[in-house]
Amino acid sequence: MARDFRPDSRESAVISRLDHARESQRANAMNLLRDKLEELTNRISTKLIEERLVETTSKDALDGQIQLCLESLLTAEEFEIQFQTASIRDLVPRPHFISLYLTAFIIEKLINHKAVVELYGTDLDIYRSVHRQVSKLIPLS
């Protein structure tokens, strides 16, 4: 017969502290995102165009789409975030959840927007470009 796994009190306490720290970190990141939404939107869309990862007919339309994505992230539940990022979760070892969510949006949905002519580069190139901007404004420890 298989034994039931029952962590002892020390293991439970450590797991609880780690979970609490992770949730606290996510809450702080969401608060920073809320405060710096417009600046982050502008930085990301500008860098995607400058690095020639996105070819678009309208930077304003690209700004609007990225801002809509970030606003939807602010109201999304954990399941929605996990579902959206499932296909690229293994892209980097310890991804920033905001960068990952935005990268998934760019790869899967933004490519079909009427203002976007073409996406260039790999998924990792897009993630790195987005992450450089996100990590400047919303660092995770």
Q: Distance between CA 50 and CA 13 in Å, rounded?
A: 47
Residue 93 within a domain: yes
> Does residue 63 sit within a domain?
yes
Count up the domains in the chain and report the number. Answer: 1
User: Residue 104, class by beta-carbon neighbours within 10 Å (0-12 exposed, 13-18 middle, 19+ buried)?
Assistant: buried
Is 76 part of a structural domain of the chain? yes
> Per mean pLDDT, which range of 19-23, 24-28, 111-115, 135-139 is the poorest?
19-23
Q: Which domain holds residue 72?
A: 9-137
Residue 87 inside a domain? The answer is yes
Residue 117 counted as domain residue: yes
Q: Determine the pLDDT at residue 116.
A: 93
The three-state secondary structure class of 56 is strand
- Percent of the chain whose pLDDT exceeds 70: 94
pLDDT score for 23: 87
What is the average pLDDT value for the chain, to the nearest integer? 91
Residue 27 counted as domain residue: yes
**Mean pLDDT within 4-18:** 76
> For residues 120 and 129, what is the distance between their CA atoms, to the nearest angstrom?
12
**pTM: predicted TM-score of the whole model, two decimal places:** 0.86
At 50, list the tokens.
């400058």
The CB-side HSE value for 102 (13 A sphere, CA atoms) comes to 32
Say if residues 119 and 111 touch (Cβ distance below 8 Å): yes
- Structural domain includes residue 3: no
Contact predicate 55/41, CB 8 Å: no
- 2 domain-assigned: no
pLDDT over 90, % of the chain: 77
- Reported as a single tens digit per residue, the pLDDT across 25-74 is 888 999 999 999 999 999 999 999 999 999 999 999 999 999 999 999 99
